Structure 1
Amino acid sequence: MRTYAPKPGDIERAWLVIDAADVRLGRLAVQTAELLRGKHKAIFAPNADTGDFVIIINAEKVSLSGNKAKTKLSYRHSGYPGGLTATPIGEILEKDARKAIETAVWGMLPKNKLGRQMLKKLKVYSGPTHPHVAQQAVPFEIKQISQ
């Protein structure tokens, strides 16, 4: 029996809504990356974009465990000598929580054209509402252990 290769017409994409309120950033990023890649589907193929659209709401209410808001650093480099800048992840979450979530999810996706295509299916919003009502998104619950 030959190996099944999903064709673009075979892929059905669902719209899922994740409420990020009081969810750990890492756990949220892992689950989101899995949904964007399509690893939860039986037709998953590593060379095809089989994933679903993911909408994350309440991005500003995402949580970090322990003292990570002050101790975990995010690095940027300007390209010039001595241009390395370190910013605590807590400051990034306060300034723009959407950017912090998108960066965490991007770190868990493939770094190629397919990964960039998958990241386009991620929609992150700071408030409890989103403009994708017409897509009839289904709520997705992230299973958490006690915090």
Structure 2
Amino acid sequence: MQQQTTKSYYESPKKWYAVDAKGKTLGRIATQIAILLQGKHKPQYTPHTDLGDFVIVYNCSDVACNSTDKLYYRHSGRIGSLKQRTFAEQMAVSPEKVVTLAVRRMLKRGPLGNKMITKLKCYRGAHPHEAQMPIEIDLEKGKQLAEIINDSTNR
């Protein structure tokens, strides 16, 4: 009888990254954050394991969106109860949810994606995670994520 062996789970220490969303475009920072949460920036990346790092996004209330017709839907499950909000209305109610939804929709569906999204921490203003000593990264337009991480860790 043949015995199946699988690659052992690589337990890497999780790093904490802090991202300032002030003036940044929502979709552009969401793609970079999704890469960090999945661990795709690491050489040990495998799709079936959770190797991603923790990401703190602060100043979510100042995030920008290029689209003027962005709508957010919610439904209670009852007939005729579909509600919608524009981007501006949703930002007034909960800017953290706007960033979380944008990132969540870029992650895998299922238990692994649910576990990854718990490592995302979004805040309206300043964040309370100074004890974790997060690495501050500036997601600039046109720079690759690996280059940004190398620049921030070498400082």
With normalisation by structure 2, the TM-score equals: 0.82
1:138 aligned residue: 135
1-structure distance, mates of 2:47, 2:93: 35
1:99 aligned residue: 97
C-alpha change, 1:88 and 1:6, in structure 2 (3 Å) is: farther
Q: How does 1:15-94 map to 2 (within 5 A)?
A: 15-66=16-67, 68=68, 71-94=69-92
Query: Over the residues paired in the alignment, what is the CA RMSD in angstroms?
Result: 1.6
Verify the 8 A CA contact 2:10 2:44 in the aligned structure 1: no
Q: Which amino acid aligns with 1:124?
A: C
Secondary structure of the equivalent of 1:17? Answer: strand
With normalisation by structure 1, the TM-score equals: 0.87
Q: Which amino acid aligns with 1:72?
A: K
Verify the 8 A CA contact 1:37 1:51 in the aligned structure 2: yes
2-structure distance, mates of 1:116, 1:54: 15
Verify the 8 A CA contact 2:19 2:55 in the aligned structure 1: yes
Once the two structures are aligned, what percentage of the paired residues are identical?
A: 38
Superposed displacement of residue 6, structure 1: 5.5
Matched length = 137
Q: Which runs of 5+ in 1 are unaligned?
A: none
Secondary structure of the equivalent of 2:22? Answer: coil
> Structure 1 residue runs of 4+, over 3 Å off?
none
Secondary structure of the equivalent of 1:26? Answer: helix
Superposed displacement of residue 12, structure 1: 2.1
Superposed displacement of residue 8, structure 1: 4.6
C-alpha change, 1:142 and 1:6, in structure 2 (3 Å) is: farther
Q: Deviations over 1:19-61 (max 9, x none)?
A: 0000011111111111000011111111000000000011111
2-structure distance, mates of 1:131, 1:143: 24
Q: Which amino acid aligns with 2:137?
A: F
Give the structure with higher Rg (CA).
2
Secondary structure of the equivalent of 1:90? Answer: helix
Q: Which runs of 5+ in 2 are unaligned?
A: 1-5, 143-155
